[in-house]
Every structure is written in C-alpha cells, then in structure tokens.
Chains A and B, each alone.
Chain A
Amino acid sequence: MQKFHYPLAIILGLFCLLESAMAAEPSPAKPPQDAARIRQFDRNQDRQLSFEEFEEFASRIPRLKGRPEAVAFLFELHDADGSGQLDRKELQELRSSAQQSASPAGRSRSFGPDTSVRRNPLRLTIPKNKKQGKTNQQKPKSTKQKAKQPTIKAAEVEAERMSQAEQPPVKLTEQQLAFFESKIRPVLADRCYGCHSSEAKQLRAGLMLDSRDAILLGGSSGPAVVVSSEDGVVHGDAEASPLIQALRGDYYDQMPPSGKLSSQTIADFERWVAMGAPDPREGEPVPVEETPESTIDIEAGKQHWAFQLPEGVKPPSVADKSWPSTDIDRFLLAKMEVAGLKPVGDASRGALLRRVSFDLTGLPPSVEEIEAFLSDPDSTPIAFEKVVDRLLDSPAFGERWGRHWLDVARYGESSGREANIFYPFAWRYRDYVIDAFNADKPFDEFLREQIAGDLLPASNNTEKAEQTIATGFLALGAKSHSERDPRQYVLDVADEQLDAVSRGMLGLTVACARCHDHKFDPIPQTDYYALAGILASTETLSGGVRGRQVRQANGLVELPESVEAATGEPLSPKEIDQLYDQLDNLDQAIQRVGNGPDARRMRIGIEMRQANVRQKISYYHEDGSPRDFAMGVRDGDVLDIPLFVRGELKRPSDVVPRGFLQVLQQSSDPEISTGSGRRELAEWIASERNPLTARVMANRVWLHLFGRGLVTTPDNFGATGEPPSHPELLDHLAIEFVESGWSVKELVRQIVLSRAYQLDSTMSFEGHEIDPDNEFVWRHPARRLEAEAIRDAILSASGTIDLQRPVGSFVAKIGDGQVRALDNAAVQRAKQLQRAKAMARRTGNNRMQRNRNAMFPVPEAEPTPTYRAVYLPIIRDRLDESLAAFDFPDPSLVAGQRETTTVPSQSLFLMNSELVIEQAVAMAERLAEVSSSTSERIDLAFQWTLSRSPRADESRAARTFLKEFSRIDQDKQGNKNKQGNQTSAWSAFCQSLFATAEFREIP
C-alpha cells in the first residue's frame, strides 16, 4: 500500500474545500446526512464509489472544478486499501475528515505545521484612543528610583498594531456601506448587541458583534465570519461562517434565541458575508485607565540576598580537621562548631546503600548489590564511590530525578479545573524529562528548551522533535478549557505559565503581581505584564476537542518525521475496527434519540463522543501506526499587552513592552527583537548571570538528598521565603553547578560523596536540644519514601516490577474526552452488563452487549500495571490511589517539596488494598520458588523488603507468626482457608513487611 505524505497544510486545505463544497449543496449540511448525499453518486449502488463516481461527486463542488490533481489526491488519500473504490469505511473516513473541519468540534485550530497565526484575542483590549497618558512619566528622576517600566502610549501602539494586523484594511464602497447601514447594522443593534457587544450585561460565548475586529476575532467558536482575500479582493464564505450557521440554526443554538430572523434577513446576512462582511465600525474606543502608581523601590529591592549574584567564598576553616571529607562538609561543620554541635557517627554500609539507592534511583538495592557492597574490600569511601557511579549511570536515575522535576513542572495528563479533559500526548514531555536527566542534559539547556525549544536551532529532526516536546512544559498546566472569553483564556493561560516558570525556575512568586504590585517582593505590576506579554504572544497547543464544556481547544504540534525517541503505541487492526464500530453505533444512537425532553442534551453528548472518536482516528495513519503529535507552543500573533488594572480584562491601562523583571535587570540582558520574546526569556533565565536559577536548582537537589532545603521554601526565594541556613554553601553549590556545565549528575555526585550525606540517622540528645529541626545537618534524618518509591519497592520485592518503560500512557490509549467519562463509562458498563445478561437469559443472544460496549470509547482499566510508578497516568483530580495515599502533590500546582503525613488511610491501603495483597501473594510465591527453608525465606524476605537480614528477635517473631497465623487463618465465613495455609501465611508475612514503618523509610 502506498502511503501519502503530503504536507499536512495541503491536506487540511483540501478538506476545507471539500467541507465548504459539501455545505454548498442546496440542502443544509447536517453531518449525519452527508453520507446519504455522497451515496447518491453511487450509480451502481454497490455502496462504494469508484473514481468515476467520485469525480462526478467532485464536479459538483465548485472549488474542486478544474483541479483534477486535487480530486485525484483526495481519492487516493482515502482509498486506503488501494482497491480503486472508496468503500464504506473509507467514505466514512472521508466524511469524518471533512466534518472535522466542518463541524464546530473540528473547526478548532487544526493540527500540525499549520503556520497560519491566529489573531491574538488580546488585540481587542488594546486601547485605541489617542488620549495622552498621564504625564508623570517625565518626572525628574528622584534620588530613589521608582519602579518604571517604560510604557508605550496608545498612539504609538496604533501604528504598530496596524502594521501587524493580518486582516487587509478594507475600503468600503458606497454601495457596501449603504447595504451595511440599512440591512445589517439595525439588526445587529436590535437583536444581537444585548448579549454580544462590549455593552452587554453578560457577554455570551465570548462573542462581540459591535466592531469589525470583534466579528473577525469571534468568540469561543472561533471567528464569527470566515473571510479571505484573493488578489486584493475580499470575499467571505457564508456557508462556513458560524454567524450564518447560528442564524439558520445549524450546528449552533438558534440565534437570536428570541426567534429566528426572517429568511429575507438571513439572506441579507449571507450576502453581506459573501461580500467579505464590509463593516465601517472601528469599535468604541476602550477607555484607558491610569496605570496605578507603583511605590516599589526597585533599587532597595535589589539588596535582597537572592537578587545578588552568588559569591564564591573559600570554605571556612574548622577546628576538627579530620571530619570533613569535602568542601561541603567544611561549610557545614564550621556552622556546627559555632553552634556547639557535633555530627553523629557515620551510617553503616547497609543503611548507606539503601539510602543512596533510593535517593538516586527510587529503587531498593538488590540482594547481589547489597552483598557486593558489604563485602567490598575497598575502604568505604572508595567502595561507595563505585556504587554512586553505578547508580548515576542507571536509567532508573532519570526516572527518579525526572519525577522530582515533574513535581515542579506540575505535570498532569488532564486539564483539571471544571472541564478536566484528557491530555493524550502529555506523556511525551514526561519521557523527555526522564531522558534529559539520564543523558545529563546541561540544566541550562534543559530550561531553555522548555521555554523556547521550538525557537532554538536544531541539527536534525530528532533534536527538533525533542525541543518541541520540551515546550510541553508550558502547555500542560491546568487550564479552564470551558472559559467562554478567548481573551480571558489567553490571560489565564499566560498567568498559569508565568507562575510555573517563575516559581519553578526562579523561585519567585511573580504571579502575585497580576492584580497589583507584589505585596512583598520588588515586582511591580508592570513587570508582570511585561512577562505576560511574552506568553500571551505565544500560542499554547494543548489539544482538546471542542464541545459543550470545552470551548477552548487549540490543536497540537505534529513532530517532524523519523523520530526514534518518541513513538506512540500503534493501534491493532481490531482496535481500528472498534473505533469505526463506535462511530457506527453512535450514528445509530443519534437516530434513536428522538424528541424527548432530554433529546438535545443526549444528542450533544453523543456528538461529543463522536467528535472524540474521530479525533482519535485522526491520531493514527491508516495502517494504525501513530502520528507523532505533542503538546507544545509556538509563537503566535505577537503583541505587547496592556496592564490590566486589578487584573480585570475590562480595565486595560497603558501597554507594557515585553520584558523581564526590573529587579534582576542587567546590562547583559538579551533584547527582544523579533518574535514573542520567549527565546530571550529562556536566555535570560537559563543564564549564570541570573542570580536565582542555579541557586534554586542546587537547593532542590539538596532538598531531595537531605529532606530539607538549605532554603526551606524551595519555590519561594523572595522576601516571604525563608533565608538560607547556609548562604555560603548554597552559593558554593550554585557556582560549582554552573562551572560543571550545569551538570545535575555532577551536583548530585558531589553532595552524596560528602561525609554529611553519609552520616547516620540517629538522634543525639545534645543535637536535639540545640537544633531539633536539624538545620545544621548534624545527622542525616530518616525520611519517608515518596509514593512512587513505596509502590516500586513493593513491586521490586514481589519480583513483578517491569523496569522497561511502557510506550505512551494509559491516557494516550483513552484519547480525548472528559475525565468524568471514566466514571460514566464504568457505571454504564455495569448497567449494560446487567441488561445484556438479562437479555441473554431471555433470548440467548448477547449481541446487544457487544455493540453497546463499543459506544463508550474508554478502555477497560488496565490490570495492575507493573511498570514503574513514574509511568502511572497522572490524571488531575483522579490520582491513582497508591500515589494519593502517600502525599503525591496536587499536579495542578508547582510543588518543590512534598508533604509527609502519617494517616490511617495509608494503613488501610497497606492492610486491605487489592494491589498490596496481590503483590504480597506474588512475593510469597517468589519466596517459595527460591527456597524451601523457612529461615532462608525469612532472611530473603527481609533482604528484599528492608535491605538487611532480620535481627534475632525479628526472626523469632516471624517464625511464631507463621505458625500461629496458619492455625487461625480462616476466611470471613469462618471457613479454614483451603488453598494451602502455608501460602496464605507467607503472603500475610510478606504483606506485614510492606506494612512496617521501616519499609517506607529511607534510613
């Protein structure tokens, strides 16, 4: 079979043609009827279209006339099996592709390297009147320099705005003007402005109809009219324009809701749109509010410790010269000596191995690794160094440390908030992060790629793809896809991104300055809008299928071809069939809906599901191989945005040029010349000249290795954060980090090789009295394992863990849709099963069940996944229970540090959950396979779970338990457990080990 690889833009363009062509048929184009209309060209009624029949069909489409190559292309594209006939399935595909661009769900921004730039909705908020701003900008400089991001005045903006506007300036003829004034304006004013104008009490669907700009921008369903210009002549496409469709009552709710306009009036509107919607209305000038005066003193603000570049200080001299083994130790010991503290003794080799294995890889050491380390004849420092290097080289390192970053990156595979839709391609970013840590990608480059990977030079497609996937960082935050107003949406998304960038990379709470100057840090509101402008000039492509609750869907990025790194999972022919069956079933279901009271709601629901299934089909090539999409960003309609007084959309003030934070300003800062400024933002952040970036990361690494940061507020280095306990040490680490070429592995290595890291975890009376929080690191406190490590450790002990990375994610298998559907599907499936059973009893026929099942495009829950926990789906507001039980952070928020709670629900999880019981059984079986001796088994079980042999009292207790438990073990009905008491007792024994306090502890 020949595969076509036409540029996507061409394909989409053709679909658009086809779509409008089909809509141009005399009868109104309702999607379910398209098939019938296509089939009318099936002359020999064989339910297939031959090429001749297809040509006939195409000839009725004006825009395909005289373009035989396009017709042939379309035919071949859809003749997937090369039979020379378009069969039922192929026609369906054709239809669904056409609908996808025709239906409201599909009119969303299309996929792929579609380079057309969407008009920035915020253009509408830019003040247009030429009113002079207040004059205090020219005030002589006071001795105290006040915060003053120079603001561009409205008049200057106007020129720039015009030059950037993509819509051609329109000259109206007298005739057009007269037509508009007599036929269109009165109707708009009379029947539409109430809900669709800047004066509307409550704006509906984010759509305003009171200026040409507003109409072209449109609302939550995209532009209200579709206009294009050819050779300087502007014309519109009435059929494809939502405005017309709404007036007709096609696709959209009938507008105006008070009653359909007369057919004459609708015809006038069609004519008007066809003319290119000539419209003299420039829109009412937006009143410009004064920018609130800032009282922030930037110069004074610069004095804060974190805003000054790290300074290299020589390690202090210490009294006890024998203790320190690295500079880190010297910094720590010097402070301890002043405070009158002494470090406790060194950890045992066993404890040390368990500690470093979990810390570096999130996995317990194997029995062989324990033996090797304990019996290594080299001195501990040398033997330990070997261990550390082995762990750093293990692919598990990236899975552990990548997950730390994913906490910061608020990684999630659904949108959260009200709509909570799946993000089926988020996993690519997850894999990118893990790979980056494994490859020890320089951390500055890692940050640059996440902010502006799409704008960086790449030497090949693989690199290009990687950089593109990296920008998923910006795209996968929690979002309100149900937001009606596209302007609000852009601002809110930019805000969320700014929060993640600033707290995650800089340790600053910049988002606090959205509504007013930052209350505590020297960040004026103008700085916020300077940064927000960069992100608002960026299009965020997070996918989604438009529908009732999903008003903002933005398309995805299609990756360049021949990428080895990031291939998704293919669909089997059976799975493809299932998808088409679902479409069939849904088609039938929609016919059955009828006219009941719930009909409309049901129809919308089914259409939504159809759209989701079609979307899923579009993610694959005809042969089921996946197309490589990713979440990401690209530069959009670039714009300096106004400051919004109190953060309110309706209160724009002066426009703020895009830029960075004044308090960190330096002469070496990059200047934004072309594009959104993301590239420059990336340069500015990922720079050794930025006093925060390296420090923040060094602190994060320290935190993960000691359980407490040198700065205990890892995401807040501002005035309300805590100052560092060891400022010189923090600077030392930051400087070394940069000098090592931003190598995270080197930083980790340096820290774990310090003597401080290798301290024992025991308490000392003196230490506790002076420093109960262990701020001075006089011991290495035991820490609770993270949720993932607990789960992985259970699976490791049971031997079921699969260390291979799974392809994609459970969410990728689901495809698009709302997370709610998981619940609905489960409920529905149960109901159907019941119904089908009842029917089968009566009729002996269970066809019903199969068909109906196919209507719900949600896969059954997977059997317990045995891959590492980092690959579990992270669905916002619906976390896997094994993660939620042990303080997995809210994936909607930047979380530099996890909480550690000890609550009964954890005990219940370990005592009663299916997962733990199942794994305990597996471990018992593994024990039985390996040995038949009780004492050997007990010893092994301790090794597998606690990385050590049992103490004498533990051995005794275990033997007694095994004996006694077998005696009393019976099920809830009081029946003696039949299936071998021994197995049952051994499983209970293994489960007990999972449940111990020690199991969940890093010593």
Chain B
Amino acid sequence: MNDIAQQLAMMSRRELLKTASVGFGYLAFAGLSTQAAAREAGPLAARAPHFAPRAKRVIFLCMQGGPSHVDTFDYKPKLQANDGKEASSTTFGGTGRARYGKLLGPQAKFRQRGESGLWISDLFPEVAKHADDLCLLRGMHTDVPAHSQAFLQMHTGTSRFVRPSLGSWALYGLGTENANLPGFISLNPPSGQGGAQNYGSAFLPAVYQGTPIRGRGMQGAGAAPTSQVPNIANPQLSELAQRRQLDFIQELNQSKRAQEEHLANSQVDGVISSYELAFRMQDTVPEVMNLAGETSATQAAYGLENRETATFGRQCLLARRFLEAGVRFVEVCQTGWDQHRNLKDGLAKQSGAVDQPIAALLADLKQRDLLKDTLVIWGGEFGRTPVAQGADGRGHNNLGYTMWMAGGGVRSGLSYGETDEYGREAIDGRVHIHDLHATILHLLGFDHKQLTYRYAGRDFRLTDVHGNVVKDILV
C-alpha cells in the first residue's frame, strides 16, 4: 500500500476516534463514505492496529451444536476406566448427593501425536497429523448450556443484548485488504441459533456486517464451480451500462442523504456501500469462487471428491481462497454436533465430514506460507458431559470443553488448560469466551480494552468489562 493511502487510512481512523468521543460515531463514517475518494479508502481501508499484529486474518471453523471434547481433544483415561459407573457429586470432587447418571467412556481411542505428543482421538486422524501446529485450549468454559445463547455468546460475547460479532469487530479494527470483497464472510451460517446476529454489526456501521454466502451450490460433490452466489451477474447489462445505472441509484441515495443533512440515517449509508460492494463483487466473487483453477490434487486433498467431505471441503477451500484474496475474517460453519443421542455414529459422521478438509486447509496454508499470520480457530459453543444421556448420547456442558487454535502467533504443539479428570469442569488454565475474544483481538494487534465504539453515550467493546489475554499461549 502506498503512503498516501496509508495516511488516508490513518486519518480516517483518527477522524473516527475524534468524532466517536463526542457521540454520533457513525456520522463520521457517513461523511467519509459519501466522498468519492473515501469510497475506496473509507471505513473499510486497511489500517494499522494498536501494536504489531501476529495474525492478519482469521478463519473460524465453527462447529455448531457442541462437539464432544472428551471424545476428541480432551484425553480422560479415568473416564475410560470408569465407563458405566454412576457419577455423583463426589465423583467430581464436590459434596452433596446429586446424581448425574452413568459415566460414558470416550467413543474413540486416544493416541499421542507428533513430536509434541498431544493426545488426540482417532476421530480426527488427519488433523492429528498436524498436532505440532495446534494449540489446544482444554480449559474453555462459557456461561450458558443452551445452544442459541452459547452460540451467540461465542460470536458476540453476550446473548442478552444485540452486539457486534467478533468478525465485525475485527473488520472494524483492521479494515479490509480487498475492497472488492466483503471483509467478513460467513459461509453457510445457520439460520437459527441467533441467525444473522452471529455475523451482525449491531451498533457498528452496517459496512462491518458479515456477508453470508449460502446456497445449494455450496454443497455436495458435483456442485458447479461458480455461481454460488445468487444473482452475481446481470443477464443483460454490460458493466458500463450497469455502472451508469448504479451511479444514478447512488445519486438518488445521496440526494436523500442531503435532505437529512447532518442527521443522516446510517441505513442510507449502509445501502450506498452495499451497492458499491455488490457491484465490485460481481467481478471478484465468481473469480474467487471458481475452483476450476485449483489442481485436482488440491481438490482431492480437501475431499471434494467424496460425498462425506465434499461440502465442508469446498467451504474450506473457498475460505482459503477468500483469505488469500484479502478477506479479513472468514467463518465456516458445520452444524450437527449435538449428539444427545446416537453419539458414536453421529460423532463419526461429523468428524468424518470435517477431519480431512481441515487437515488439508492447515497443510495448504502452511505450504503457501499463510499459516504464520493466519489465525485458525476450531470449536463449538460448548462441550459435552462425561456422563451419558440415554445409552448413547451426551448432554450439554458449558463448564469445560476444548477449542483449538493454530497459526497466527499462537504457540504450537501446546496443550493449555485442563478439565477435571472426567472432563466435566475446567479447573486449570481456564479460558472463558471473553478471554478467548481478548486473546484473538490481541493476536490481531489490539488491546481489547481499547478497541471500543461509542454508542448511546458509552464506549462498548467486544469483551464488555471482562476478558484477560491468555499470555501463556502466545509465541
């Protein structure tokens, strides 16, 4: 990036902070985004964070439903040994007479992997080959053992209020490196579990909202390589003609803004920038989403040729292409990790669908030298109970579970934190979802307490009044 652009970027940031401190934060953006020049270097322009970042981009492999940690990444020999035994409060080191049901041993064999010797179960044989790149967070915990609340909290820090998503904060902080693509993309987001709030910008300007990409074209082995985004091309107009049309639309929109003078509403601004982005996306998206340029070896590595892995593999490959093209934050979602019943088969099916694609993604990022500044995050909204639900299932567990990270400035081959010997509750190296958010922002170069947005007379931040950076996992 040249100096002028950088200056412009810094200025807009200063501008933002200045006006933000007197309220009317979004109006600063409104003003900028209306200037022709600021269209290219406005609120989305790439900018420097508080300090040198270790990660420049993020891919969040979101496992909706609460994947079982005790069957995958949290090795509990004692749980195995006591399979089938009744568990009571005393089992988990408490007092009282509460009965919890029968302990259920891990559903797959755990082995030590790589030089680091991390314990990973046979449900993830391919990811396990990258053990030395992983940083397991085995002391995760969150507030509520209910899907939509925990899912929202994982994305926005809270389920009680409508708040910006993690990806929106990252984009707000860093801007984007490719103005022709959305800076924050969510592939196949679930429509439930809080829906659009999970990629919403809430009170942040609408430009920071995630762009969901859905569609049947994303799924299955035989999906067409392009046109996954509906309506990405106009059937009739040339680019020139459509640009002229768009200019007219924007002229009318500007005229509306002018009517409201300094008191414009952010919705008009959101509309204006959504058209500009959409127009540019028409060129860029089909190009990025066209997998034809990927070698058949790469496609095979991501599992595109197998029914089981094709859907998630395609999304992982798309995610890599988006990241490479300069998208700041990509989320890829796999639903269906809620094994109240049918645990053994269900887990095998779920992990079978994602294991190979994730391993391929890690290998691919590494090979392209992107892993060093790309933060990969894997995990769900909570984990599952060591005690059985029914004969072949597990309940929700928010007290202790595992997520993992790789790349972008986290120590590799590390297991951080612990649950008790059955995997029920995090007891050491505890990482709350707020701490995770603080750490992610830290890796992106932000002090989570300083990355704020003034709204309704208050400085809001992702971590609210909580959050501690987990220093021990930083390189």
Residues of A within 8 A of B (CB): 201-202, 512, 515, 519, 646, 648-650, 720, 762-765, 768-769, 772-773, 781-782, 784, 823, 881, 887, 889-890, 892-893, 899, 901-909, 911-914, 917, 951, 953-954, 957-958, 961, 964-965, 968-972, 974, 977, 988-989, 991-993, 995-998, 1000-1001
Is B362 located at the chain interface by the 8 A CB criterion? Answer: no
CB proximity to A under 8 Å, residues B221-265: 229-238, 240-242, 244-246, 248-249, 251-253, 255-256, 259-260, 263-265
User: A773 and B456 in contact (CB under 8 A), knowing A988-B245, A997-B253?
Assistant: yes
* A903 contacts across to B, CB distance below 8 A: 209, 211-212, 274
Tell whether B395 is near chain A: CB-to-CB under 8 Å: yes
Q: Which of B191, B230, B255, B457 contacts A957 (CB 8 A)?
A: B255
CA distance A958 to B457 in the complex (A): 41
Which residues on A sit within 8 Å (CB–CB) of B244?
961, 964-965, 968
Contact A901 B253 (CB under 8 A): no
In the complex, are the beta carbons of A954 and B255 less than 8 A apart?
Answer: yes
Q: How many Å from the CB of B99 to the closest CB on chain A?
A: 9
CA distance A764 to B230 in the complex (A): 39
Q: How far is the CA of A762 from the CA of B259 in the complex (A)?
A: 10
Q: Is B192 part of the binding interface, using a Cβ–Cβ cutoff of 8 Å?
A: yes
The answer to whether B196 touches A912 (Cβ under 8 A) is: no
Known: A772-B455, A890-B191. A971 touches B256 (CB 8 A): no
- Contact string against A for B residues 378-406, beta-carbon threshold 8 Å, 1 for contact and 0 otherwise: 00000000000111100100000000000
* B267 surroundings in chain A (CB, below 8 A): 782, 784, 902, 997, 1001
Is B272 engaged at the interface, CB distance under 8 Å to the other chain?
yes
Cβ of B333 to closest chain A Cβ, rounded Å:
15
Residue of B whose beta carbon sits closest to that of A975:
B238
Knowing A202-B391, A965-B245, A970-B241, the reply to whether A901 touches B200 (Cβ < 8 A) is: yes
Bound-state CA distance A772–B203 (Å) is 11
CB of B204, distance to nearest CB on chain A (Å): 12
- State the Cβ distance, A650 to closest chain B Cβ, in Å: 6
Instruction: Flag if A904 contacts B274 (CB, 8 Å).
Output: yes
Contact stretch, chosen from B71-79, B124-132, B275-283? B275-283
B49 located at the interface, meaning its Cβ lies under 8 Å from any Cβ of chain A in the complex: no
> Is A901 a contact of B196 with CB atoms below 8 Å?
yes
**Given the contacts A905-B230, A908-B230, A951-B255, A890 and B274 also touching, CB distance less than 8 Å:** no
Complex Cα gap A969–B239 (Å)? 10
Instruction: Name 11 interchain pairs, CB-CB below 8 A, sorted by A.
Output: A764-B263, A899-B197, A899-B200, A902-B267, A903-B211, A908-B229, A912-B233, A912-B282, A965-B244, A992-B249, A998-B252
Bound together, the chains give a CA A954 to CA B259 distance in angstroms of 12
| A435: min CB distance to chain B, Å | 29
Q: From residue B134, how far is it (CB to closest CB) to chain A in Å?
A: 33
- B270 at the A interface (CB under 8 A): yes
Q: A902-B274, A970-B241 are in contact. List 19 more A-B contacts (CB 8 A).
A: A649-B390, A650-B391, A764-B263, A765-B263, A768-B23, A903-B209, A905-B229, A908-B231, A954-B252, A961-B248, A965-B245, A965-B248, A977-B236, A988-B237, A989-B248, A995-B249, A997-B256, A997-B271, A1000-B271
Q: Which residue of A lies closest to B160 (CB)?
A: A720
Taking CB atoms, residues of chain B closer than 8 Å to A965 are: 241, 244-245, 248
Determine the chain B residues whose CB is within 8 A of the CB of A971 once the complex forms.
Answer: 236-238
Kindly state whether residue B114 has any CB partner on chain A within 8 Å. Answer: no
Most buried by B among A765, A989, A997: A997
Residue of B nearest to A997 (CB): B271
Q: Are A904 and B249 in contact (CB under 8 A)?
A: no
A893 with B24: CB separation less than 8 A:
no
Distance, CA A905 to CA B282, complexed state (A): 11
Nearest residue (CB) in B for A488 is B341
- B270, A902: Cβ atoms under 8 Å? yes
Closest approach, in angstroms, between the C-beta of A675 and any C-beta of chain B? Answer: 32
Max count, chain A CB within 10 A of own CB: residue among B200, B270, B271, B455? B271
A892 to B192, CA, bound (A): 9
Kindly name the residue among A202, A907, A914 whose own CB sees the greatest number of chain B CB atoms within 10 A. Answer: A907
Given A961-B248, A988-B245, A996-B252: A909 touches B230 (CB 8 Å cut-off): yes
In the bound complex, do residue B256 and residue A998 qualify as a contact, i.e. CB atoms below 8 Å apart? yes
Minimal beta-carbon separation of B47 from chain A (angstroms): 22
B146 contacts across to A, CB distance below 8 A: 512
Total number of B residues with any Cβ neighbor in A under 8 Å: 66
A908 touches B232 (CB 8 A): yes
Residues of the B chain whose Cβ atoms lie less than 8 Å from the Cβ of A887: 196
State the CA gap A989–B251 with chains docked (Å). 12
Please indicate which of the listed interface residues B252, B253, B281 has the most CB atoms of chain A within 10 Å of its own CB. B252
Chain A, Cβ-Cβ closest to B24: A768
- In the complex, residue of chain A having the shortest beta-carbon distance to the beta carbon of B393: A648
The reply to whether the CB of B117 lies closer than 8 angstroms to some CB of chain A is: no
B274 x A907 contact (CB < 8 A): yes
A908 with B256: in contact, given A902-B271, A913-B231, A970-B241 (CB under 8 Å)? no
Q: How far is the CB of A136 from chain B (nearest CB, A)?
A: 13
A970 to B191, CA, bound (A): 40
Tell me whether B182 is interfacial, beta carbon within 8 Å: yes
B266 — nearest CB in chain A belongs to which residue?
A902
Contacts of B260 in A (CB 8 A): 762-763
A914 → chain B closest CB, angstroms = 7
- The distance in angstroms between the C-alpha atoms of A389 and B302, with both chains bound, is 62
A576–B279 CA distance with the chains assembled, in angstroms: 48
B85 interface residue, CB < 8 Å from A? no
Give, as a whole number of angstroms, the nearest-CB distance from B258 to chain A.
8
Bound complex: CA of A580 vs CA of B317, how far in Å? 47
- Shortest distance in angstroms between B103's beta carbon and chain A's nearest beta carbon? 15
Q: Is the CB of B238 within 8 A of A972?
A: yes
Q: How far, in whole Å, are A763 and B259 apart by their CA atoms in the complex?
A: 12
> Closest CB of chain B to A996's CB: distance in Å?
5
The answer to whether A907 and B278 touch across the interface, beta carbons within 8 angstroms, is: yes
The answer to the question of B206 belonging to the interface, with a C-beta cut-off of 8 Å to chain A, is yes
Residues from chain B with Cβ under 8 Å of A905 in the complex: 211-212, 229-231, 278
Q: Which residue of A lies closest to B239 (CB)?
A: A972
Q: Is the CB of A914 within 8 A of B192?
A: no
Instruction: Report the minimal beta-carbon distance from B259 to chain A, rounded to whole angstroms.
Output: 8
- Whether, in the assembled complex, B293 has its beta carbon less than 8 Å from a beta carbon of chain A, the answer is no
Verify A911–B263 contact, CB threshold 8 A: no
List the B side residues contacting A996 at CB < 8 Å. Answer: 249, 252-253, 256, 271
- Interchain CB contact under 8 A, B240 and A762: no
B265 partner residues in chain A, CB cutoff 8 A: 763, 781-782
- CB neighbours (8 Å) of B101 from chain A are 646
A648 to B242, CA, bound (A): 58
A958 to B236, CA, bound (A): 21
Contact of B291 with A by CB under 8 A: no
B408 to chain A, nearest CB (A): 27
Which residues of chain A come closer than 8 Å to B389, judged between CB atoms?
A: 646, 648
Instruction: Give the distance to chain A from B402, nearest Cβ to Cβ, in Å.
Output: 23
Indicate which residue in A762, A907, A991 contacts B275 across the interface (CB closer than 8 Å).
A907
Contact A968 B196 (CB under 8 A): no
0/1 string, B202-216, CB within 8 A of A gives 1: 000010010110001
Q: Is the CB of A763 within 8 A of B263?
A: yes
Flag if A893 contacts B192 (CB, 8 Å): yes
Partner of A912 from the list B209, B216, B231 (CB cut-off 8 Å) is B231
Q: Which of B19-33 contact A (CB under 8 A)?
A: 23-24
Contact B200 A909 (CB under 8 A): no
Q: Which residues of A contact B237 (CB under 8 A)?
A: 969, 971-972, 988
Across chains A and B, which 7 residue pairs bring their CB atoms closest together, nearest first? A763-B263, A907-B278, A902-B270, A997-B271, A904-B278, A912-B231, A908-B231
Measured CB to CB, the nearest residue on chain B to A987 is B236
Q: Contact flags (1/0) for B420-439 with A, using CB distance below 8 Å?
A: 00000000000000000000
In whole angstroms, how far apart are the Cα atoms of A680 and B472 in the complex? 60
CA distance A995 to B231 in the complex (A): 14
List B176-198 residues whose CB lies under 8 Å from chain A: 182, 191-192, 195-197
Say if the beta carbon of B268 comes within 8 Å of chain A: yes
- In the complex, the answer to whether A911 meets B234 with C-beta atoms within 8 Å is yes
When the two chains form the complex, which single residue of B209, B256, B277 contacts A907, counting CB atoms closer than 8 Å?
B277
Contacts of B231 in A (CB 8 A): 881, 905, 908-909, 911-913
